[in-house]
Structure 1
Amino acid sequence: MAELKQLTIAVTTYNSEKYIKFYDEFLKMWSFGKLEIIFVDDASTDRTQQEIQKLENKYLNSHIIKHIFHAENTGISKSVNDALEVATGDFFLQNDGDDFLLVDGIREMLDIMSNTDFDMVQAGVQTIENNQLYQKNVTEFNNIRSDTLLKKILIGENVIFQPGSRMIRLSSVQRLIPSGKIYPSKEGQNWQILIPLCLHGKVKYIKNSSVSITVRSDSHSRFERSLNELVERTHEFLNIWINSVVDLSNHERRIMVQIMNDMLLNLAYRFGNRHLAVISFVRGSKSFKSSVKLLITLFGGRRSEG
């Protein structure tokens, strides 16, 4: 095997003071060459920045550790773009600051990327919830039409959205993602990597996990939203999808619009909103399942679950 090439790990943090130690533990176990780690802190109010600087000083002579500290909270997409601008590695992996990277999985991904021409390697994910360990993997897509693949990515079928599970070639970012940056948004940054790389790149799937996640009750994504907030969020998803692909075809755009409206129909069904149900059904895929949801929403009363 050829020598392993340079990997950049971008770590996005917000009030992650007690989790920076994960990266100290990871670096103690890593023995496969120098890494570049870029911490991008999104205006933490705890001691996250001080913990990052302590780690930076500790590994000053063995790894390249950089930090970017935001004065105001701007969201993950801005943090990822800031890291992309200063990354000097051949490959790029973004991880959330409170998730633990697994050495064996990262090493396997780096070995594959260093010795092949894949644009991305997708690994599995370990999840710990209520003291139970779960493993999730993606089944490799074989001989699948591009429009079917796009639909699966948009609805999250056989897809892992979790950061830390994908290693991408930095040159592929410049080639496949508009302007070499992800679209600025509060959410959806994982779609912006998955859509262009899976549709137009060369992807390798492995069974080994590269990241371990502990499900916590204080997760920022775990809060209730109103119907209006969810509708606005779903429309923003469409903007994200459209802005994720270089030279988006009309057919791909139509698929994205249909999927968005199917999502809106699910919301209408969940909240019992008849007006939204009719509009989204007309503009959506008009599948049998959609027809049933429309009828239940119109004549079956309000639903409490999607």
Structure 2
Amino acid sequence: MFPKISILAPSFNHEKFVGFYIESILSQTFSDFECIIVDDCSTDNNVQEILKYKDTRIKLVQHPYNQGINASLNTAFENASGEYLVFLATDDILEPNALEILYQALEQNPNAKAIYPRLMKIDKDNQKLGILEVRQRSREELLYHLFMIGNALTSPGMALRRTDFVQILYPLDRAMCNFQDVQMHIKLLLRGGVVLLPQILVLYRFDPRGSNISALTENTFKREDMEKSKLMDTFLELKNITRAEELLQNVFAKEIETLNIAPNVSALEYFLGRMALLSPVELNRMWGYHQIMTSYASKEGAQKLKQLYNFEFKDYLKLIESCDGTHYKNWRKYQKYKKLFNATLTFALVLCILLIVFIIKG
């Protein structure tokens, strides 16, 4: 008999936290579950701590080498058999009624692509730091924010159907790191709506100074910059989605009215590129410009844009005005300082000459 819920639990160097995690799992009011913990080749005593628990619902799988979060989730899924899936790393904690509420929500919302609980942040000592607030938004509003700004959802405790995971997400991209959950959110929302629960069901371990990949370090921000283009490419999956043009019309209603262009899936790169050029995020604008470049690169592409949008080369040249980016700002700053340096150097040379003349005459 298969369990109703499989908890997919990536685990890496969580020796100090995994005991709290497992105890919270075993204390659930909903008991028809299994928890697949995938140890991603930890270097501490994480595995030994897990093995202390003998409950058959706790199942340990060990990676032979370190492979990352998405690889761990893939492995956990490959060893899971539940109808519903819950994602939760082993440094977090579930409230006792979490699985029960998630199960009820999935049963009561058969069309939802995912269920998201509210989170309470805790520190390394399990002290509560405050609620991680997520604004209630419609499907269209969430997609708009994810496209134009950035993440608008959380991932600890998110639940979905096994069938949707297979059809939409599996296998998860192993190379995605800091944006691995954001990519999942986009993929799911492109296919349907989600439900944000009002209940706090997860105690989310938050340590901005920690050593994990989401810690607020320079490398974290650099990884996000490197992953952004690939993340934005996820929206190109609209090519394969039913009624995509209607969805785009609802998501970008204001921008469509401003630019007076209509979405057309046959020119999706161009349309999304024009939308991205209106983003306040420079990397999004750069992505958008590159999509338009790709659309215009061939004779056939240019003809299609002329036919659909009356878009010509002179219009293409004007688009650069939307990309007043950091590199150009740095170039302008360099030119400004260069002029100032040259002026200062000229003044110093004149002053030296006058001083020499004064000395000679004196």
* TM-score relative to the length of structure 2: 0.63
Per-residue deviation, residues 225-277 of structure 1 (Å, max 9, x unmatched): 399766533344346x368778265666553797599698369xxxxxxxxx9
Q: Distance in 1 between matches of 2:266 and 2:148?
A: 19
1:204 pairs with 2:202: no
Q: Give the drift of 1:123.
A: 1.4
Percent identical across equivalent pairs?
19
Counterpart position of 2:351 = none
Q: 1:287 to 1:87 in 2, by over 3 A?
A: farther
Give the paired residue count.
276
1:159 pairs with 2:152: yes
Q: Secondary structure at the match of 1:153?
A: helix
Q: 1:260 to 1:227 in 2, by over 3 A?
A: farther
Q: Give the drift of 1:80.
A: 0.7
1:111 pairs with 2:107: no
Q: Give the drift of 1:90.
A: 1.2
Q: Give the drift of 1:182.
A: 1.2
Bigger relative CO (Cα 8 Å, ≥ 6 apart): 1
Give RMSD over aligned pairs: 3.9
Q: 1:32 to 1:242 in 2, by over 3 A?
A: same
Q: Give the drift of 1:42.
A: 0.5
Counterpart position of 1:172 = 164
Q: Distance in 2 between matches of 1:73 and 1:226?
A: 18
Contact 1:128 1:213 in 2 (8 A): yes
Stretch moving more, 86-95 or 212-221: 212-221
Aligned residue among 198, 207, 214 for 2:205? 214
Kindly provide the amino acid, as one letter, of the partner of residue 23 in structure 1. Y
Q: 1:225 to 1:158 in 2, by over 3 A?
A: closer
Q: Give the drift of 1:127.
A: 1.5
Counterpart position of 1:185 = 175
Q: Distance in 1 between matches of 2:288 and 2:156?
A: 36
Q: Secondary structure at the match of 2:116?
A: strand
Structure 1: segments with no counterpart, 5+ residues: 268-276, 302-306
Q: 1:228 to 1:87 in 2, by over 3 A?
A: closer
Q: Give the drift of 1:105.
A: 3.7
* Aligned counterparts, 1:17-96, within 5 A: 17-55=15-53, 57=54, 59-60=55-56, 64-96=57-89
Q: Distance in 2 between matches of 1:292 and 1:186?
A: 25
1:141 pairs with 2:98: no
Contact 1:17 1:47 in 2 (8 A): yes
Q: Give the drift of 1:73.
A: 0.5
Counterpart position of 1:270 = none
Q: Secondary structure at the match of 1:205?
A: strand
Q: 1:133 to 1:280 in 2, by over 3 A?
A: same
Q: If you compute each CA radius of gyration, which structure gives the higher value, 1 or 2?
A: 2
Counterpart position of 1:234 = 228
Greater share of residues in helix? 2
Structure 2: segments with no counterpart, 5+ residues: 242-264, 293-318, 335-362
Q: Secondary structure at the match of 1:127?
A: strand
Kindly provide the amino acid, as one letter, of the partner of residue 133 in structure 1. L
Q: 1:135 to 1:259 in 2, by over 3 A?
A: farther
Per-residue deviation, residues 109-137 of structure 1 (Å, max 9, x unmatched): 21111333033111111123696622134
* TM-score relative to the length of structure 1: 0.73
Q: Give the drift of 1:31.
A: 2.3
Counterpart position of 2:337 = none
* Aligned counterparts, 1:214-293, within 5 A: 214-216=205-207, 217-221=209-213, 222=215, 223-225=217-219, 231-238=225-232, 241=234, 247=240, 253=269, 255=272, 259=276, 265=282, 282-283=289-290, 291=324
Q: 1:281 to 1:168 in 2, by over 3 A?
A: closer
Q: Distance in 1 between matches of 2:175 and 2:31?
A: 34
Per-residue deviation, residues 37-80 of structure 1 (Å, max 9, x unmatched): 0000110111111222222x1x13xxx22111011101111111
Greater share of residues in strand? 1
